[in-house]
Structure 1
Amino acid sequence: MAQAANAFITTLNGDQKTEVMHPLADTLRYNWHFIPRERLGLNLKRMNDSQRKAAMHMVEVVLSDKGYQKIKDIIDLENVLRVLESRPPNDTRRDPENYAFLVYGDPAAKEPWGWRMEGHHISLHYTSVNGHVSFTPSFLGSNPGHVLIDVPQKGKRVLGPEEDMGYELLNSFSADQKKQVILAEKSPYEIFSVNQRRVTGLDKLEGLTMKEMTPAQKQIFKKLIALYLDRYHVTLKNQQMQQLEKAGMDNLYFAWMGDAELKMGKGAGHYYRIQGPTILIEFDNTQNDANHIHTVVRDLTDDFSEDLLKEHYAKSHKGGK
């Protein structure tokens, strides 16, 4: 990851480095969102070919092949939205080149550093502290969730597996289990964690625990969790799985809100979350008549690697460095 970041930085001129590079302590790091908006940093539109290649290689090295393909497909959906919303080719609201890169700290040094890629429906954050890499918050969205119009991307469902397996798990439950799992008949308009620096308002664990599931249901639940973690490089995936196992897989909850039957593009909004002592995963498909998906992975102990950074700086200060 550091090699890829350094390679990207070497492609930049002085003014571009000023735009891209910020101190790790800059609060800009926590000002993140997944809506279409102007963003600080250097976006793909203002890069030359070698810079774009180097920037996207930063993304490629921290994701799995499947995860990187999702990133490319989400970017490509901006072209679909231009057609869907009858926007001109030079439109800047739905722009596949409006994805910006920022680097915090110096990846060539031994001190903690981080970087992010962000644009509409993508917000990726990576922080390295003493060899440990945090990869959350990590947001991916899809609009349309299911491409229905007559374009080359017709039929595409970038986050379809996450939707389908959520329903598969829900439909595996008995009537009594569903009473515990389904928290509300109406889905929320948005994921609860939104773009908060720290997750708040979800302190109460609700739904059905893995411990209360049958062996077959547990396997589906584990596959659903793996769908999200499989987006990332295998080292990061294994790091997160080890953390989940240490905290106890049986302590993971599954909760649902909204329609219990998948009716793609027909206004049947639905939401689910996976939550435990260390992790929060949210899926929401409610907006645009339930054809607009938001998903996020949050590490409740390691977002932005804040706790490790506090520990690092405390030790450095104690040592007089």
Structure 2
Amino acid sequence: MRLNKRLPAALSGLLLSTALLAGCSTSGTDETTTTTVSSAAASTTTSTSSDSSSSSSSDSSTTAETISNTAEAAQAFLATLSTEEQDAVLYDYDAEEKSTGWSNFPVTFVQRSGVNLTDLTEEQQAAALNVLKNLLNNDAYQMIEDIMASDQYLNDESNTTEDSLGQYYIAFFGDPSSDSDWSIQFGGHHIGINATFSDGAITFAPTHLGTQPSEWTNEDGETVAALSNMYETAFAFYDSLTEEQQAQLYQGEELDSMVCAPGSTCDYPTGTGLKGSDLTDEQKELLLDVIANWVGLADEETTETELDAIRETLDDTYINWSGATEYDTSTGDGIYFQISGPKVYIEFANQQGSAGADIDGVITAGWGHIHTIYRDPTNDYANSVTQEAASGMMGGGPGGNGGEMPSGDMPTGEMRSGTPSGAPSN
């Protein structure tokens, strides 16, 4: 059987593999579909946040193992597809779509590369997700599950009218093989993973991770907080600073907007804030803990290799921060921080709006709505393509609103920051 085009319900079955991880509504979902997709997602250990591990994810400890296992899983996925479906998934390694086919927006507004999981059978969906399981470490895969569960929850419980929430695409660029360069792209609303395998190395630059709401309670009374570790490591770094260092770091109460929105071109700003050379060795390691939220998605060797390269350039890296200075989600609008150096560029931005998706008793704006971007100024896509604006209606949402679509009260036909008026926010 083929799954309903409304993927939120279909993917909720997939997330049930973690014992109703999200507690999402499955009304309208065929019971057989739910069971099959649940089984296909593998027997993951029950977990409710990205702080917990999932035994079904990759157990690779080296880069070579991750590359080999992921390529094998990718070939197994391709074997489940028809010729037409394979054509939809496969691109040339240097195809322009690699840089234009991802964004933070729902899939309605930015065309994605590859095949929509909605259009696949349960077996094919499971095989597609098995690619991610072999690519990502336990915590990273759990985080992706939690982001998807949060989108499902947003779809089910909020007043949003956007019906493409929870839809995800997968694409391969090049021939999945341990011996050749190739890339995986997986994404949808608040997910844009670009993993490139080149010359025996793995890079996740560029990658977008976001979530909304950032914290909520499932029907079992358990907290789901997909990106909580980003908050925790960021404030651990902030709290380690002296008053003088914080004064250099801090840019003010008003939150900055994202400069390099997901799926957009940009010049990397630098020179603002606290310089890495002014940090102690302990503070540098705490900063690397923050950075590891993005570069540490795969095995230990891949993570340490990337962190070592960034560590060598930390003295020339700048960090700036605006917004709240205490981790208290009950007050204020959240935080913004930017890490900009020769080898790493990261932005974390709480979005100042619920994106037209309000839920009684749940924070869906500010602290509750997160956008992030990770890029490597020296090695995006392993230098296989140059970043172009995302395809679709708004070119990935570059501009001063951090990739947010404007609110629906704008005059018809008026546009701001490259986004269409009247469209739902992301």
Q: What TM-score does the superposition give when structure 2 sets the normalisation length?
A: 0.65
Aligned to 1:218: 284
CA distance in 2, matches of 1:50, 1:231: 25
Decide whether the 8 Å contact of 1:165 with 1:220 is kept in 2.
Answer: yes
Aligned to 1:26, the other structure's residue is in SS state coil
How many residues align structurally? 301
Aligned to 1:47: 120
Once structures 1 and 2 are overlaid, which stretch shifts more, 278-287 or 167-176? 167-176
Aligned to 2:86: 17
Asked if 1:92 corresponds to 2:163, the answer is yes
Whichever residue aligns with residue 92 of structure 1, its letter is: D
Aligned to 1:291: 368
Q: Cα–Cα, structure 1 residues 289 and 265, in superposed 2: closer, same or farther, change >3 Å?
A: farther
- The correspondence of residues 83-232 of structure 1 with structure 2, limited to 5 A, is 83-86=156-159, 92-95=163-166, 98-108=167-177, 111-147=180-216, 151-152=219-220, 155-189=223-257, 191-196=258-263, 198-202=265-269, 204-232=270-298
Aligned to 1:101, the other structure's residue is in SS state strand
Decide whether the 8 Å contact of 1:147 with 1:153 is kept in 2.
Answer: no
Decide whether the 8 Å contact of 1:20 with 1:42 is kept in 2.
Answer: yes
Asked if 1:67 corresponds to 2:140, the answer is yes
The Cα RMSD (Å) is 2.6
Asked if 1:81 corresponds to 2:157, the answer is no
Asked if 1:255 corresponds to 2:314, the answer is no
Q: Cα–Cα, structure 1 residues 132 and 161, in superposed 2: closer, same or farther, change >3 Å?
A: closer
Aligned to 1:183, the other structure's residue is in SS state coil
Aligned to 1:57, the other structure's residue is in SS state helix
Decide whether the 8 Å contact of 1:113 with 1:128 is kept in 2.
Answer: yes
Query: What displacement does 1:187 show?
Result: 0.9
Whichever residue aligns with residue 13 of structure 1, its letter is: S
Task: Deviation per CA, 1:202-226: give whole Å up to 9, x if none.
Answer: 1x23222333123443342233233
Decide whether the 8 Å contact of 2:144 with 2:226 is kept in 1.
Answer: no
CA distance in 1, matches of 2:288, 2:177: 38
Aligned to 1:278: 343
Query: What displacement does 1:282 show?
Result: 1.7
Once structures 1 and 2 are overlaid, which stretch shifts more, 137-146 or 230-239? 230-239
Aligned to 1:36: 106
Decide whether the 8 Å contact of 1:186 with 1:259 is kept in 2.
Answer: no
CA distance in 1, matches of 2:234, 2:275: 15
Q: Cα–Cα, structure 1 residues 45 and 63, in superposed 2: closer, same or farther, change >3 Å?
A: same
Q: Cα–Cα, structure 1 residues 240 and 113, in superposed 2: closer, same or farther, change >3 Å?
A: same
* The structure with more helix, counted as a fraction of residues: 1
Decide whether the 8 Å contact of 1:80 with 1:151 is kept in 2.
Answer: no
Q: Cα–Cα, structure 1 residues 153 and 75, in superposed 2: closer, same or farther, change >3 Å?
A: farther
CA distance in 2, matches of 1:230, 1:140: 13
Q: Cα–Cα, structure 1 residues 3 and 258, in superposed 2: closer, same or farther, change >3 Å?
A: same
Whichever residue aligns with residue 381 of structure 2, its letter is: F
Structure 1 residue runs of 5 or longer lacking an equivalent are: 310-321
Aligned to 2:251, the other structure's residue is in SS state strand
Task: Deviation per CA, 1:91-138: give whole Å up to 9, x if none.
Answer: 73223xx11011122225955322210111111112233333332111
Decide whether the 8 Å contact of 2:284 with 2:314 is kept in 1.
Answer: no
Aligned to 1:312: none
Decide whether the 8 Å contact of 1:169 with 1:217 is kept in 2.
Answer: yes
Decide whether the 8 Å contact of 2:155 with 2:163 is kept in 1.
Answer: no
CA distance in 1, matches of 2:323, 2:253: 5
